[in-house]
Structure 1
Amino acid sequence: MARRKKIKNDMESGVATEEVSMVAEITPELEQLSADEIKGEIPVMTLRNMIMFTGIVMPVTVGRQATLKLVHSASKNKQHIIIATQRSSEIEDPALKDLYPVAVVGRVLRIFELPGGTTTVILQASNVKVKLEELTSVEPFLKGKVSVLPEFMEMENNDEFNALMDTCLDLANQYVDASDRLSPDVTFALKNLPREHVLVNYICTNFPFSLDEKYELICKPTLKDRLYALIQVLNRETKLAELKHDIQMRTREDLDRQQREYFLQQQIKNIQDELGNSQEDEIDGLRTKGKTKKWSKEIAAAFEREVQKLERINPQSPDYNVQLSYLQTLLSLPWNLFTTDNLSILNAEKVLNKDHYGLEKVKERILEHLAVLQLKGDMKSPILCLYGPPGVGKTSLGRSIASALKRKYVRMSLGGVHDEAEIRGHRRTYIGAMPGRIIKSLIKAESSNPVIILDEIDKMGNDRQGDPASAMLEVLDPEQNNAFHDNYVDLDYDLSKVMFIATANNLDMIPTPLLDRMELIEVSGYITEEKIEIARRHLIPKEMLENGLTKTHVKFTKLAIEYIIENYTRESGVRELEKKIGKVMRRIALEIASNKFAGLHELKPDDIKQYLGVPEYSRDKYQGNEYAGVVTGLAWTAAGGEILFVETSLSKGKGGRLTLTGNLGDVMKESAMLALEYLKAHSSLLDLPDGIFDNWNIHIHVPEGAIPKDGPSAGITMVTSLASALTQRKVKANLAMTGEITLRGKVLPVGGIREKILAAKRAGITNLILCEENRKNIEEIQPLYLKGLTFHYVRDIKEVLQLALTDEKVADAIDFEAIMKKDKEAEAAEKK
């Protein structure tokens, strides 16, 4: 049907093919007609899909019987005909409204009967353009009456007209080159036709413009107007033809490249088939590995579904590698694969004591866990959180725990992690998707019950990509992590057998819901005695090995190690101590390499100065009790315990102003005001003269003002300092104290007791005043560290003052009563 319709539409249509040369040969001179010659009823030949212009010879294929009768009659009688055009090619018997009004007068030059029953007619248009007025007859063919329209086709001999003709011819040639709708023979015709109205009308007739555009062109009355309009149409059509040509060329190049890649891929596939690495072998290998896995029926079924999905994907598709990577991840996971725990309590205790000195609470918790495992046989692993200052061995403790349990060890650093996908993984729909760190750690450990260290859990961040701390809730909840869901794996995985050990420096930075899921164990700073043992057992042998020394080269005495700790480090842990020991080792290695080594170095404190230079830090020492208002307090810092001095001085002045200096925080300032208010309210307790608070300004100072100080621990120290200054009584020798106060005079407990009392011992203090509730903290400390110290436990400030103040006045004590009496006498005399 489509072919029949095409043949039908071609009937009575213009043919711009190789017949052009034939037409050129039979073309006679242009017939000149007058208006009188075309009066009356004239046969009307209707064309489809083309408009014929004046002066043009054109072959036309004829199919309709009425038209065949018309052309034979016109040829036989040498009769002129009207050559008109239908608006629509579908109409079989057109009426006047179905025809374009403007037509040309022509005649039939020749009729060719072609094989197959088709007839081609050579038509020649005259110089007359007419308008169809009416159709007068239908049988045996169309006839009608017309009126002549003006047609001025004379050439103008000027530069503008010549330029228009040149432009028109150039654009016509460009269009023939760019378009595939015209035969190359058209170029030959353009070269041989005369440069006048015949050339213009030939282009208008034969080029494949739309009928409406051709009709607009034939309606132009002058050759110049037709040229301008034709150039516009040619310009547009040429650009469109060139654009189509470029698109076709690019498309052809893409197809050629795709075909080339396809053939190369086929060759690769054939080579792989020869080598035995085909897709089938790969999928068979996946299934074989899957059969060795100890996974549940649900996981096995999910794995088989994913393998079947892989089979349906073309190996050349990008999705193939994505699916293959996913299946390989599933096979890499240690499903229900566990290492055997070493549940020997003695072995675990031996390993922990060997690797770490001190840390009794942590070791005790691990041994408890092992004991329950030994009795019960199975239990959920604890979620421990070791918190404390840097350098105290929190991370290395996790490695020791894994070694004691004979489990695999994996460390996950969470510092700076701010993307939730780092924990839960990415969905497979994303480009470059991968599992989260938890799943990666299990793949690395190759077991489902490793020890995973979550290092620096307090330093996780959050941003627009999510909150990783919230994602950790499922990981660290013993009630949820038996079905942990990673977005990439998209299957539940049991984490309940994994022992998670988190480390943190600051608990305030960890969200409360996450903190609630962990068992907190404080790893406090080491005291000097512990640091000495750590250095002797671990740090010195390690640095010897790293610097190529042996015991025949160097030996540290206990006093030398203590000297380094006290004078060259200020820390809770032992990182700085390790660096200083390493520096000493390097200096000795330099001596050996320079042939200056004189034998075994048994290092003493004086030798340390030679290697490390001038001491960087100095510890405060007890300064005696010769001054009123100077009391020794105790403070906790991140580097351990320290002693501090609270100094109070009085100066004459009305109003009793209180001045605080020493870079004190808000809490410490409040303690000073509490102390002063308490003494004002209980002045009778110390027999203070009346008016002393109104006539004397008070200045409280804590030395080392460049160091910020805060906390309530100096409360009772400030009360004692004020009381000593106001009474001018001496403070008991070799005494230090710590405790918080209330406005009612109660003494409250404080923290950091172990570090504080050891700082007091190093400073030469022998007596300590503490809150009664801090007695339990003293009982936890080894008796060895308490030797030589006497503790006084109090509940009220009155007890503190009774213990701390002696009845002896300081030298050059101020006689407040005498001074105030003298001032009153002077005021009275002045008034008189």
Structure 2
Amino acid sequence: MKTQKNGERHEPLTLPIVPTMDVVVFPRMIIPLLVVDEHIIDGIQRALEEKPPREVLLVASKKSFPPNEEQTIGTDDLYTVGTIATVMRVIQIPNNGIKILVNGVSRARVLNITTERNVLEATVEKIPFEMQPNSVRIDRMINDLRESASRLIEQGGSIGPDFNAILSKMTDPEKIADFILSHITLSVERAQELLEEKSFEIFFEKLHAFFLEEIEHAKSDESIKQNARESMNRSQKEYFLREQLKAIKKELGEDDESDITELWTKSESIKLSSEARKEFEKSLQRLEKMSSDSMEASVLRTYIDWLLALPWGIETEDNLDLAHAQEVLDQDHYGLKEIKDRILDFISVKKLNTDGFAPILCFVGPPGTGKTSLGKSIARCLDRSYFRMALGGVKDESEIRGHRRTYVGAMPGRLIQGMRKAASTNPVIIIDEIDKIGADFKGDPSAALLEVLDPNQNNGFYDNYLGVPFDLSKVLFIATANSLDGICEPLRDRMEIIQLSGYTDEEKCEIAKRHLIKKALFDSGLDGEAIAFKDETLMDIIHNYTREAGVRELERLIRKLGSKAARLMVEKGEHLCCNRDVLENFLGPRRFIDEGCDHKNQIGIANGLAWTMYGGEIIQIEAVTMSGEGRLIITGHLGDVMKESIQAALSYVRAHADEFKIDPLLFTKHDIHVHVPAGAVPKDGPSAGITMLSAILSAYTKRPINGEYAMTGEINLT
């Protein structure tokens, strides 16, 4: 490269063009080039025939060609700035090609390209650097370059260790620039950008930026190499430790081969299905080829253990004695005649046809009515194993079907886990709270249960983790729910619905005497004489301290009394005799007061039947007329349905005023006020129309309503 002196100009030259692929040649760079194009070779031969210096123009191509592809370069494919170079040596090679050694001399701009006898020639003008001699800024840039080069060598960059030693001895900026360019690797685009740069200052700024980038890359590469070395050292250490562990296991007779043999032997005694046998053999063969300490081997071993742990072909023998079943059911539960009859029917069918489908039962009823415990009693009377699967709040389909083995921590679904725990193919499985299953983006568990609860499909239930079909056709499924509203219609259609109503007070009293008191005494460590309950005391607890369809709260209160009796026994050695005073002392004041209803015949007051979560109740409807403008006033915290029932009842009375002998002026000159007591309690629901009608009609006709009756039902306007 030459610096431009004041007033100095260069005459144009005409030189043959030698295109270069994927490389930009700089001045003072000596580089070999392979030439196979015959027209370019002709141009080089013509240059060799000239008097020294034998020069050519090296111009980089904008295009790159894949190997073994014919290289066809047009004038538009060449950059407009190249390097004038002298041809130092020419070597003939096979296949009509030559190899030349060239030395870059100076940069040049292409002014014109011509073709003479198929040889590309360019008229060029040399491009000198624009630089002020002895520039202080240039000296500072050169020092920065030397420092950056030293840092790059320290980081193990792409330049050699002798680079900085040679660079430190050089003072001429042109030689420094050419030396640096001949020792660094640049992309064609970036190298061409430097070749075309006229300003020495900008040229050095770009070079300095390149060195800074190389330093960052070198740091990153060194970090990666360091991590790789640490990982390699750790892997080697683990390898040696594993080899030592293998040797120790072999000495102790615990080597992997004995484990594999043990699995083969164990599988021979298990009646695996054909699909399961095939999957087992395939998995075990893979396990044999793996290192026992690898993560994949651990996952595969867990899967094989699951395959072998399931009860393939294991079936317990049913106890089909009807008398035994009746005795067990009566021991565990009082009442529930319909359900007990259905279980006895199933046992009878099973006795006559052992291959018949088991029914899919669904017990629907309020909490505490014995739905879940019934399933346990059924398992006991049949001498079957028992497993309870609680689905309340479950939203992930994988809870039923299992996770795919590709997931970290994958496990079978709850059904397969239950079958392993039950250790037989015909257990009783309780699907608890089936009405409280949810659904979200992970799937709908209800859809997965459609296959499980279909006798025609569950003989080949597919668990995602297991990967092979498993027979569930011999399982006795019993679902429980508090309401049918939360169960989708297809799932409801697959089950036999059996409704459990709430217990009557007499049934609760009998359940307490047969089961709850005995259990409370046992839990408290007391004998049968430590606490005495009379029927009146039990009824007092049922009426005044509980308000439920089942017996859970009653059981809690009796257990609380048992704890008090235990304390009395420990402190004073006395037995507890329960009466009203004892109840108020230990259980507190009465929680519920039965207001009942007024049995008197009164005008404008009608008794209606209402349903609550605790059971049925009597609710009074009050109506009264007064002077006014025919307005209807409604109070009592009523919902929209009950308000509409009042409107319908009033319309019916007005439409049939003649039949009831009511003066029509009463409707325009009197207001009517309908009220339902306990105004702080929200009330709504159907079946109150007839009660509203009776109260309104009584208020207008002044005829009393029989207080011995309570009503329920809706009305029509016609």
Paired residues of 2:602 and 2:706 also in contact (CA < 8 A): no
Q: 2:541 aligns with which of 555, 564, 575?
A: 564
Aligned partner letter, 1:351: V
2:530 maps to 1:525: no
* Separation (CA, whole Å) in 2 of partners of 1:245 and 1:682: 99
Judged with a 3 Å threshold, the aligned counterparts in structure 2 of structure 1 residues 272 and 344 are, in CA distance, closer, same or farther, namely farther
Paired residues of 1:171 and 1:235 also in contact (CA < 8 A): no
Q: 2:709 aligns with which of 736, 749, 769?
A: 736
User: What displacement does 1:568 show?
Assistant: 1.2
User: What displacement does 1:210 show?
Assistant: 6.7
Other structure's SS at 1:509 match: coil
Other structure's SS at 1:632 match: strand
Question: What residue is the counterpart of 1:628 in the other structure?
Answer: 603
User: What displacement does 1:179 show?
Assistant: 5.4
Paired residues of 1:179 and 1:242 also in contact (CA < 8 A): no
Question: What residue is the counterpart of 1:815 in the other structure?
Answer: none
Question: What residue is the counterpart of 1:618 in the other structure?
Answer: 593
Judged with a 3 Å threshold, the aligned counterparts in structure 2 of structure 1 residues 493 and 204 are, in CA distance, closer, same or farther, namely closer
2:335 maps to 1:335: no
Judged with a 3 Å threshold, the aligned counterparts in structure 2 of structure 1 residues 152 and 83 are, in CA distance, closer, same or farther, namely farther
2:232 maps to 1:258: yes
Judged with a 3 Å threshold, the aligned counterparts in structure 2 of structure 1 residues 450 and 237 are, in CA distance, closer, same or farther, namely same
* CA-based RMSD: 4.6
Question: What residue is the counterpart of 1:408 in the other structure?
Answer: 385
Paired residues of 2:568 and 2:574 also in contact (CA < 8 A): no
Paired residues of 1:392 and 1:525 also in contact (CA < 8 A): yes
2:516 maps to 1:539: yes
Aligned partner letter, 2:249: L
Superposition map of 1:32-181 within 5 A: 82=53, 87=58, 102=84, 159-178=136-155
Other structure's SS at 2:709 match: strand
Question: What residue is the counterpart of 1:442 in the other structure?
Answer: 419
Question: What residue is the counterpart of 2:356 in the other structure?
Answer: 379
Question: What residue is the counterpart of 1:704 in the other structure?
Answer: 678
Question: What residue is the counterpart of 2:179 in the other structure?
Answer: 203
Other structure's SS at 2:557 match: helix
Aligned partner letter, 2:496: E
Question: What residue is the counterpart of 1:640 in the other structure?
Answer: 615
Cα deviations by residue, 1:200-236 (Å, 9 ceiling, x for unpaired): 3783586346799999999999xxx657635643551
User: What displacement does 1:721 show?
Assistant: 4.0
Judged with a 3 Å threshold, the aligned counterparts in structure 2 of structure 1 residues 537 and 386 are, in CA distance, closer, same or farther, namely same
Other structure's SS at 2:485 match: helix
Cα deviations by residue, 1:552-580 (Å, 9 ceiling, x for unpaired): 43212111111111111111111221222
Other structure's SS at 1:579 match: helix
Aligned pair count reads 637
Q: 1:607 aligns with which of 567, 582, 592?
A: 582
Q: 1:462 aligns with which of 416, 439, 444?
A: 439
Question: Identity over the aligned pairs, expressed in percent?
Answer: 38
Question: What residue is the counterpart of 1:243 in the other structure?
Answer: 217
Judged with a 3 Å threshold, the aligned counterparts in structure 2 of structure 1 residues 105 and 461 are, in CA distance, closer, same or farther, namely closer
Other structure's SS at 1:488 match: coil
Paired residues of 1:53 and 1:104 also in contact (CA < 8 A): no
* Separation (CA, whole Å) in 2 of partners of 1:691 and 1:129: 121
Other structure's SS at 2:146 match: helix
User: What displacement does 1:336 show?
Assistant: 1.9
Aligned partner letter, 1:430: Y
TM-score normalised over the length of structure 2: 0.76
* Separation (CA, whole Å) in 2 of partners of 1:330 and 1:152: 80
Bigger shift: residues 401-410 or 694-703: 694-703
Cα deviations by residue, 1:40-79 (Å, 9 ceiling, x for unpaired): xxxxxxxxx998978x9x9x99xxxxxxxxxxxxxxxxxx
Question: What residue is the counterpart of 2:6 in the other structure?
Answer: none
Question: What residue is the counterpart of 2:48 in the other structure?
Answer: none
Judged with a 3 Å threshold, the aligned counterparts in structure 2 of structure 1 residues 450 and 210 are, in CA distance, closer, same or farther, namely closer
User: What displacement does 1:516 show?
Assistant: 1.0
Superposition map of 1:263-342 within 5 A: 263-276=237-250, 277-313=254-290, 315=292, 318-342=295-319
Aligned partner letter, 2:393: G
Aligned partner letter, 2:179: I
Paired residues of 1:628 and 1:730 also in contact (CA < 8 A): yes
Bigger shift: residues 572-581 or 621-630: 621-630
Paired residues of 1:425 and 1:487 also in contact (CA < 8 A): yes
> Gaps spanning 5+ residues in structure 2: where?
1-22, 33-50, 61-77, 89-102, 109-123
Paired residues of 2:57 and 2:85 also in contact (CA < 8 A): no
> Gaps spanning 5+ residues in structure 1: where?
1-48, 62-79, 90-96, 107-123, 132-146, 746-832
Judged with a 3 Å threshold, the aligned counterparts in structure 2 of structure 1 residues 465 and 229 are, in CA distance, closer, same or farther, namely same
* Separation (CA, whole Å) in 2 of partners of 1:383 and 1:598: 52
* Separation (CA, whole Å) in 1 of partners of 2:367 and 2:361: 17
Cα deviations by residue, 1:131-172 (Å, 9 ceiling, x for unpaired): 9xxxxxxxxxxxxxxx99899999955643542443343344
Cα deviations by residue, 1:624-671 (Å, 9 ceiling, x for unpaired): 31533333333332212222223333334564x544433344554455
Question: What residue is the counterpart of 1:829 in the other structure?
Answer: none
Bigger shift: residues 563-572 or 615-624: 615-624
User: What displacement does 1:417 show?
Assistant: 0.9
Aligned partner letter, 1:243: H
Other structure's SS at 2:503 match: coil
* Separation (CA, whole Å) in 2 of partners of 1:492 and 1:390: 36
Paired residues of 2:24 and 2:59 also in contact (CA < 8 A): no
* Separation (CA, whole Å) in 2 of partners of 1:183 and 1:301: 61
Other structure's SS at 1:302 match: helix
Q: Which has the larger radius of gyration?
A: 1
* Separation (CA, whole Å) in 2 of partners of 1:414 and 1:332: 24
Bigger shift: residues 196-205 or 574-583: 196-205
* Separation (CA, whole Å) in 2 of partners of 1:636 and 1:257: 71
Other structure's SS at 1:170 match: helix
TM-score normalised over the length of structure 1: 0.66
Paired residues of 1:168 and 1:231 also in contact (CA < 8 A): no
User: What displacement does 1:529 show?
Assistant: 0.8
Aligned partner letter, 2:709: A
Cα deviations by residue, 1:80-111 (Å, 9 ceiling, x for unpaired): 9859788499xxxxxxx9x98646999xxxxx
Paired residues of 2:107 and 2:195 also in contact (CA < 8 A): no
